[in-house]
Amino acid sequence: MNLLAILSNIGFPDILDILLISLVSYQLFIWFWGTKAFKALVGIVVLSGVFILAKSWGLFLTTWVFQILWQVFVILLIILFQKEIRQMLERFNPLKNMGMRHDKISNGWVPEFSRWAFDAAQKRIGAVVIFEKTDPVSDLVTRGIPMECEPLPEILNSIFYKQSPLHDGAILIFNGKISKVSCYLPLSTREDLPQEWGTRHRAALGLSEQCNAWVLIISEERGEVSFAFDNQVKKIKDEKELSFFLETQVFNEKEPEMNIRQVILSWFTKRYKIKAVVFVLVFVLWLVFAGQQNFEKKIELPLVYRNIPESIMVSSPAAINISVTCRGLRKDISLLSKENMMSSLDLASAKRGKLHYNITKANLTLPNERIDIVNISPGRVEIITEKAQKPDIKNKSL
């Protein structure tokens, strides 16, 4: 009954609250999935569930211990996962790209670059190429030697030649030109990666986990070409597909425009299973906490006259309605209605004439004592009584 009452009182702020927390929870899940930080988040969720159950069941000692240790857990998490926390805050920062200059990109070299990539894969030449997009990667990569030129096959061969001192690092392409060479990338901390993946794949995926850059991987061992982006790695089958990805996804020159309806539909259909699970969990958590939330509700009640002496009658007003504002836990307030509340005025000591009465909590009948009365309007009523008229029984039909 409490659950149905809470659901019936859900308003726009509650829906907005659930959607915002669902969005944040989904982003945290996507960013931390498969990492050691994700396991820590799962542990926090489990401990939080134990704490909530202990508090609701009245387990005093367990609740007291959790309240003390919780502060220690928060400090430990900040120390252990400061890197992940910093990356999360950077992603949420709407001003991170302000002031960045994006010149017009020249990508006439894309077909030659695609041919070179598969030629290098066939010759078992390993390489890692970073395509920087809107998220800056300068703070995420280490070392790096500045360079400014187009990624032409001749230059790429000289960089990734096995005897070259630069071949072990990655090159960074920004605005269609090589800006750095011999860069070292952060390795992915995910533990669900294939065992055959080498350092190049783990480094490329590690960078894609922290920003929206696309990282091209040319495998020296297997002779494959892959792209790491958005926490995933996709194998590229031929030069045509590589050119398509570069032009549509990296440089966005041939990407079809989407209207608002298509964007919204795409957001709901992409990873819809994960989003549905996250939404359900957040909604259940909201229901748990919603019942413990302080809530106010206003109810209109008729003021009922009772214990009227036989010698008098109420001539004015015939009916009075009062507005009662109640406050209490949401699970209790949600149950309030005209059916389980009543307001009454005891006229046992009333006499004829103009009478004034104060309306207080004592005039109300409530379903439980946990409900507080915030306001009653009107707080004072005036009634007029007169001598009761006895019924005329002489003309009554037999």
- The per-residue pLDDT for range 178-198, each reduced to its tens digit, is 999 999 998 887 878 888 888
In a domain, 71, yes or no: yes
| pLDDT for residue 214 | 92
The whole-chain average pLDDT of the chain stands at 82
Query: Residue 255 falls within a domain, yes or no?
Result: no
The answer to whether residues 285 and 299 belong to one domain is: no
Q: State the CATH number of the domain containing residue 363.
A: 2.170.120.30
The lowest-confidence range among 29-38, 124-133, 153-162 is: 29-38
Q: Which of 241, 273, 290 is the last residue of a domain?
A: 290
In a domain, 13, yes or no: yes
315 and 240 in a common domain: no
Examine the domain organization and report whether 320 and 273 are in the same domain. Answer: no
In the prediction, which pLDDT does 100 show?
46
Angle at 16 between CA 15 and CA 20, to 5 degrees: 120
pLDDT at 1 over 90: no
Structural domain including 272 reads 2-96+260-290
- Report the predicted TM-score, pTM, of the whole model to 2 decimal places: 0.49
Question: CA nearest 233: which of 270, 191, 201?
Answer: 201
Tens-digit pLDDT profile for residues 225-266: 999 998 889 999 999 999 998 888 887 644 455 567 776 777
What's the rounded mean pLDDT across residues 150-179? 88
Tokens of 305: 């006259």
**363-380 core/surface letters (b: 16 or more CB in 10 A; e: else):** bbebeeeebeeeebeeee
Residue 13 — pLDDT band, cuts 50, 70, 90?
confident
Residue 228 domain flag: yes
Find the mean pLDDT for residues 321-345.
Answer: 87
| Average pLDDT for 342-350 | 91
- What is the CATH classification number for the domain harbouring 227? 3.40.1700.10
Average pLDDT, stretch 130-141? 85
Pick the more confident residue, 42 or 171.
171
CA atoms within 13 A on the CB side of 364: 31
Q: Which two tokens stand for residue 112?
A: 């030659």
> What does DSSP say about strands 312-316 and 214-218: parallel, antiparallel, or unpaired?
unpaired
* pLDDT score at 105: 53
Edge-first strand listing for the sheet containing 342-346: 364-365, 342-346, 294-306, 320-329, 372-377
Domain count, the chain: 3
